[in-house]
Amino acid sequence: MNPDRAGLDALMEITSRPELVFVRGEGSWLEDHQGKRYLDFIQGWAVNCLGHNPPQIADALVRQSKLLVNPSPAFYNQPSIDLATRLVGASCFDRIFFANSGAEANEGAIKLARKWGQLHRNGAYKIITFDHSFHGRTLATMSASGKPGWDRKFAPQVDGFPKARLNDLDSVRNLIDEQTVAIMLEPVQGEGGVVPASTEFLQALRDLTREREMLLIVDEVQTGMGRTGVLFAHQRAGIEPDIMTLGKGIGGGVPLAALCAREAVSCFEHGDQGGTYNGNPLMTAVGVAIFDTLTAPGFLEGVEERGWHLSEGLTALSEKWGMLGERGLGLLRALVMDRDDGPALVEAAQQRAPEGLLLNSPRPNLLRFMPALNVSKDEIDTMLAWLDELIARARR
Ligand SMILES: *Cc1c(COP(=O)(O)O)cnc(C)c1O
C-alpha cells in the first residue's frame, strides 16, 4: 500500500523524498505507514537530541499549553525568562533573543553585528565567512553560506560576506579591510562534511578579532546543546565569542532557536528586532525541559563516551574496507569513504528489510552520523553491523 500520490503532490517539491510516510517515533526508532521500523541516525538533522518523542517534550507541551501559549513578544513570559537565565548561566553570554529557526537566529546575528558596526566602527558591515559553510536558507544566510553554486542562486546576493578558507588564518587576514566588522563560523562545519575548526584556529580568530576591533560570531546551530560532548562546541577551545546562535537541539524537535550576545554588543534599539512567535512560552517551556535534561549530572559525559564508541566503530569499519578514516566531535561524526558510495548506501540502508536504517550523505564520499544524544551503545553497535553488511553488499 503506497501513500496516495495526489496527497504527496499537494506538498511543494523541495527535495527528493522516499515514497513513505512516517507516522510514529520513539527514541532512536521511527515507524512508517506500513509498520516498518527504521533505526534513525539522522534525527531530523541533529535536531532530536533526546530522540523521537521524549516524555520531556510531551509533558512540557501539555503543561504549558494549558497555561499560556502566546501573550506576544511585547510582554514577558516565565518560560522564556527561565530558559534565557539558564543559557546565560551556562555560557559567556549576557542576553538572549529567541527565534524560530537557525536561519532566523543567524539573520539576527548578522543584523546585530551590522548595528554594532554602525555604532562603533564607522559603518563597517562586512562579515567574513568560510568556504563550504552553511548558515541557513534565507537570502542573507544563503549569502553568508559558502556552499558551491549558492553565490548565483537567487541573485543578487546580500552584499558583504567575503569567504575565507577554514583553518587558514592568512586567508582570513587577507580579506580584512576597514569595512570588516566580524568573522562568523561553525566550530564544526556540519553540512560541509563534519569538518572541525582546529582549536588553534578558533583561538587565533579570537585574538585577531580582538586586535582588529571585530566581533567573533559562532554558529552553533548544529554543534551546540551537547552535540559535541560539551554544551557549546567553542568551549572546547576555551574561547569566549561575542555572539553565538543556537537552533536544532535547543528545542529537541520543536521550532526554537536563540541569538546569544555579550552585554557590550547587545545594541539593538527598540524596533530593530522582533517577530510574532519569538520567545513564545510553548516552545521555550520545551527548551527548559530539554536544557535541564542535557545538563543533568553525567549526561554530557555519556555523549562524549558514546561519541568515542561510535568513533572506534567507524574507524574499524574504515580499516576493514580500506576507507579514509572518520572524523568529528562527540555524536557528530563522518565516515570518509574511498569512493562515492554515499547516496547508494543511504538508499540501500533505507530499503533494508525487515528494518531500515536512516543515514545521511552530505557529500558523495561521506556518511554523516547525528544520532540522538541518548542513543545507546547497543543501537550504535546495531547501526555499525548493518552498515558493514550494506557496504559488503555494495562492494560485492
Ligand atoms: C541547520 C543549520 C542552520 C539553519 O537552521 P534552520 O533551523 O534550518 O534555519 C544554520 N546553521 C547551521 C550550522 C546549521 O547546521
Q: How many A from CA of 316 to the centre of ligand 1?
A: 31
Q: Is 136 in the pocket of ligand 1 (CB under 6 A)?
A: yes
Q: How many angstroms separate the CA atoms of 56 and 60, rounded?
A: 6
Does the CB atom of residue 130 touch ligand 1 within 6 A? Answer: no
Q: Quote the ligand 1 centre to 219 CA distance (angstroms).
A: 8
Q: Binning pLDDT at 50, 70 and 90, where does residue 6 land?
A: confident
pLDDT of residue 131: 98
CA of 55 to the centre of ligand 1 (A): 25
- CB distance 134 to ligand 1 below 6 Å: yes
Q: Which helix (H) or strand (E) holds 356?
A: strand 356-358
β-bridge mates for residue 335, sequence order = 326, 367
* Residue bearing the CA closest to ligand 1, atom 11: 135
What does pTM read for this prediction?
0.97
State the distance from the centre of ligand 1 to the C-alpha of 42, rounded, in angstroms: 14
Average of per-residue pLDDT across 216-243? 98
pLDDT in tens, 76-113: 999 999 999 999 999 999 999 999 999 999 999 999 99
- Nearest C-alpha to atom 15 of ligand 1 is from which residue? 222
Report whether residue 146 contacts ligand 1, using a CB cutoff of 6 Å.
Answer: no
196 lines ligand 1 (CB under 6 A): no
Rounded average pLDDT over 38-45? 98
Q: How far is CA 213 from CA 106, 181, 346, in A?
A: 21, 8, 45
Res. 256 pLDDT band, cuts 50 70 90: very high
Q: What is the chain's mean pLDDT, rounded? A: 97
How is the chain split among helix, strand and coil, in percent rounded to 5?
Answer: 40, 20, 45
> Per mean pLDDT, which range of 11-15, 91-95, 115-119, 267-271 is the poorest?
11-15
Amino acid at position 282, single letter? L
Distance 296 CA to ligand 1 centre (A): 26
Average pLDDT over residues 202-216: 98
| Cis peptide leading into residue 79 (ω within 30°) | no
pLDDT at 7 over 90: no
Q: Which residue from 248, 256, 278, 368 has its CB within 8 A of the most atoms of ligand 1, so it is best to mutate? A: 248
- In angstroms, the CA 197 to CA 209 distance is 16
CATH architecture of the domain with residue range 55-294:
3-Layer(aba) Sandwich (3.40)
